[in-house]
Amino acid sequence: MKVFNENEPIHNEKLRGTMRTLKLSGGALEEQVFLEALKQAKLLAPVEMEPVLAKGQQTGGESVPVTDDVRIRFLLIHTPDKVAFFPAFTDEEALKKGSWPGGKVPKSMILTLEDYCTMILSSEKGAAGIAINPFEENVQVLRPQLAKLNGKAMPYMVTKDTKVLLGEPKEYPKEMVEAVKEYLKTKKGVQKAYLQQMVKDGEESYLMIVDFEEIARKDLFEGIAEVAAPYLKEKILDLVPYSENFGRDAAQKVTPFYTKKRFGLF
């Protein structure tokens, strides 16, 4: 990703055309055409840029930068019911139509769909997805759909209050399980791992419960997600820790597909 330069404008006529057609028709074919165009697009993400200041450097009562380092913060927008989205704009004209604080159009970075997926799917909380041209067409692509588009598992936790249905997978993902087992063998802190099928809000996914210690959950789950991704096809993989109530409850009456091998007699 790089900072947007007005002298090198971004245009996404094809993407905007598919968005308008999708809003009018809303069929499966129109959605697929839109998603294919989205995969190829370069989008503008509004940001705030602040210079990194050296401690104690001030002049006239104001801090001044003494390095070329800049801190970048991506802006979010919120729906009336306070759901957060990362805004994405097809071009500078769409960006300028926003009601920005102080009437000042923010600077922007050039991002791809993959960049947005990385930002959103690597966090357990935060944005629900991306909103493309939120002040015009406002086409939203939600977190579960981003996971499918990016071919990634979803490294976020299902909370204990989430109402779900659990059971054995209809089609056991043997290849995915074997790939994850080989990966877990390289992680000394992983004790066991379990697999269930989950139905949440009408959507099916695999649920993997991992019993681990002395490993950063984010790093472990991202590693599992990367290994599992080639075998997920159209499915989503939810990852939860065994250490929390939901994980322990979900693992009951399920035989772990991976158990850490122990050496010696005990």
CA distance linking residue 158 with residue 202, whole number of Å:
15
Ranking 27-31, 116-120, 152-156, 202-206 by mean pLDDT, the lowest is 152-156
pLDDT at 170: 81
Contacts of 122 (CB under 8 A, 6+ apart): 155, 218, 222
**The whole model's pTM is what?**
0.55
In this model, does residue 124 exceed pLDDT 70? no
The confidence band for 183, taking pLDDT boundaries of 50, 70 and 90, is very high
More confident residue, 231 or 258: 258
The confidence band for 52, taking pLDDT boundaries of 50, 70 and 90, is low
Nearest one of 146, 255, 147, 164 to 209, comparing CA atoms: 255
pLDDT at 168: 85
The confidence band for 63, taking pLDDT boundaries of 50, 70 and 90, is very low
pLDDT at 65: 41
Chain centroid to Cα 65, Å, comes to 33
DSSP 172: -
Q: What is the CA radius of gyration of the chain?
A: 22
Per-chain mean pLDDT for the chain: 81
The confidence band for 38, taking pLDDT boundaries of 50, 70 and 90, is very high
For the record, the structure tokens of 81 come out as 């019911």
DSSP 201: T
Across the range 193-212, mean pLDDT stands at 86
pLDDT at 211: 95
Domain spans in the chain, listed from the N-terminal domain onward: 2-149, 164-259
Report the CATH number of the 164-259 domain: 3.30.300
**Looking up tokens 């976020």, which residue turns up?**
156
Across the range 169-180, mean pLDDT stands at 90
In this model, does residue 4 exceed pLDDT 80? no
